[in-house]
Structure 1
Amino acid sequence: MKLEEAREFLKQEFPQVNCVVEDIGPGTARVTQPIDENHLRPGGTVSGPTMMMLADCAAYFAILGHYGKVALAVTTSLNINFLRKPSADRNLLADARLLKAGKRLVISEILVFSQGMEEPVAHATATYSIPPA
């Protein structure tokens, strides 16, 4: 799947999601989440659900980069470790890669960063179920 195709797919299939696919390759994806006041929690930091949504979105596009369009691929497990406080005034960036791509299950790893920072703010793993062909 090419980058413009991925962006159009996101717009068509998930219009409620406002993350941006920045890069997509075979089993990899980079996705950003613009941060505004709707994504913040008390204490002036980005909420955990926002980071989880971004990790899930990045994993999904890494899967699309590997398999092509599989709209019915679904998350079966999403685990996240919050490593440090993300910056409230920077967008989030997630890099996802597939660790194992089988016929029915895919396991991915995702690192989430505050844009421009070197250290990740979260580490996630996601397992997806791939529908039968």
Structure 2
Amino acid sequence: MSIEVGSKLEGKVTGITNFGAFVQLPTGATGLVHISEVADNYVKDINDHLKVGEMVEVKVMNVEADGKIGLSIRKAKPQPEGAPQRPDRPQRPRPNNNRSFERAPKENFETKMAKFLKESEDNLTSLKRATESKRGGRGARRG
């Protein structure tokens, strides 16, 4: 009996961790039920929902090349009639980020450096004037 994605199987909970539960399948393989796949509502503590040794029905969600098997308990449960079908992950509309911004013309390194040096000298000069006038140093304006 091979494990196929989408098949529902009966398995035994063999271990519980803080991120999910390990379930042994009838084939002898072990798969993981992630904590988000245990119940339809938020699961804070998985021990409130599952116990080691308990038999559960699981649905095979994926089988990876390295042998890891992803399982789901909540998707194995039959949906009541009339209940809205909930997609695995609801798609939210993405904002349109294709805005066309006008970019400043690119400056080369020498132009940027010259601009920085000029601004830096202007800032130092104004700082020096302000400091000297407060101390009454030479060259301070009086008036």
TM range (shorter): under 0.3
- Structure with higher Rg: it is 2
State the TM-score, normalized to the length of structure 1: 0.22
Of structures 1 and 2, the one scoring higher in RCO (CA 8 A, sep 6+) is: 1
Q: Which has the higher strand share?
A: 1
